[in-house]
């Protein structure tokens, strides 16, 4: 069993496709590519979706969300985002649903949240904050990484890929201030 991380799929969400300049001719084409790029996830793997799974305001959107859910491989866990309505949470057979989750992958702890955090449990001891929400606007900072599809070629990433990215990103001044690293960080 392996773990995979992703966020901000926004299945069936044509306005998001257009607003963020996703390189697909339609929402259906976008959905098909994201499903195809998740094919490396095995049926017994855990796929952690860090929010904003689908746009479901219409019957067609709900049908597309169901189709995407059924087509995605693995055990699907949802860490709720701002575009995950209550009906989607309760109607789909998620393996688990959380607002924030701490995942231990056997040597590395990840704090999974839809939103980027200023600080998190274990930040001082190497825990990585994996998040989404900001799409193309921010890749992250040292110790935290945006695992959204807009950042990762519309495919889920392994914890190792996310950890490596988090280690190579520049430090966050806000995080340093929150962790008490003094006035030097604010300059």
Specify whether the CB–CB gap between 77 and 94 falls below 8 A. yes
State residue 83 phi and psi, 5-degree precision.
-115, 30
For the stretch 127-177, pLDDT in tens is 999 999 999 878 888 899 999 999 999 999 999 999 999 888 878 777 677
Q: What is the bridge-based pairing of β-strands 144-146 and 46-49?
A: unpaired
Specify whether the CB–CB gap between 139 and 169 falls below 8 A. yes
What pLDDT does 23 receive? 97
Which residue(s) pair with 148 in the sheet?
Answer: 7
State residue 103 phi and psi, 5-degree precision.
-110, 125
Mean pLDDT for 5-20 is: 96
Which residue(s) pair with 112 in the sheet?
Answer: 101, 130
What pLDDT does 167 receive? 87
What pLDDT does 185 receive? 46
Specify whether the CB–CB gap between 99 and 51 falls below 8 A. no
For the stretch 73-126, pLDDT in tens is 999 999 999 999 998 999 999 999 999 999 999 889 999 999 999 999 999 899
pLDDT greater than 80 at residue 178: no
- Tokens for 89, please give them: 């949470």
Sorted by where each starts, the structural domains of the chain and their CATH numbers stand as: 3-186 (3.60.21.10)
What pLDDT does 184 receive? 52
């Amino acid at each position: 069993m392996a773990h995979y991380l992703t966020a901000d799929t926004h299945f069936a969400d044509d306005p998001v496709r257009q607003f963020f300049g996703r390189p697909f001719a339609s929402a259906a084409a976008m959905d098909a590519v994201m499903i195809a790029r998740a094919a490396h996830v095995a049926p017994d793997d855990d796929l952690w979706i860090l929010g904003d799974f689908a746009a479901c305001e219409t019957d067609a959107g709900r049908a597309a969300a169901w189709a995407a859910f059924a087509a995605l491989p693995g055990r699907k866990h949802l860490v709720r985002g701002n575009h995950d309505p209550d009906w989607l949470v309760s109607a789909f057979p998620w393996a688990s649903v959380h607002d924030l989750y701490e995942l231990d992958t056997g040597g590395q702890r990840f704090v999974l949240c839809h939103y980027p955090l200023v600080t998190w449990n274990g930040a001082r001891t190497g825990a990585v904050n994996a998040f989404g929400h900001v799409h193309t606007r921010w890749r992250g900072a040292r110790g935290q990484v945006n695992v959204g599809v807009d950042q990762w070629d519309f495919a889920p990433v392994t914890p190792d890929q996310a950890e490596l990215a988090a280690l190579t990103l520049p430090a966050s001044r806000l995080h340093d201030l929150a962790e008490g690293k003094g006035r030097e960080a604010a300059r």
